[in-house]
Amino acid sequence: MLPELQMDDVLRLRKPHPCGNTDWVVVRLGADIGLKCLGCGRRILLPRREVARRMKAYVRHAGANG
């Protein structure tokens, strides 16, 4: 099942980025999902299915307080 993502959602992926961070913010939606590393600012594009496979949890939903 593919997750319902929104702009500015913060996701935790299973494997850490080489900078050591595991949290990413959604910066682009479409067939490919754009993610920005919250540690170093690196941007990547992944197919929606790959994001669903690599995703471990939501850290924060867009529009949620906190």
pLDDT tens column, 4-16: 899 999 999 999 9
Which has more confidence, 64 or 24? Answer: 24
How many independent structural domains does the chain possess? 1
In a domain, 1, yes or no: no
- H-type helices in the chain, by residue range? 48-54
Res 25 pLDDT > 80: yes
Closest CA to 57 of 22, 13, 21, 26: 13
Res 42 pLDDT > 80: yes
Tell me the residue range of the domain where 32 lies.
Answer: 10-60
In a domain, 3, yes or no: no
Res 66 pLDDT > 60: no
In a domain, 4, yes or no: no
Which has more confidence, 57 or 40? Answer: 40
- Res 64: pLDDT: 64
In a domain, 23, yes or no: yes
- Paired residues of 45 in beta bridges: 34
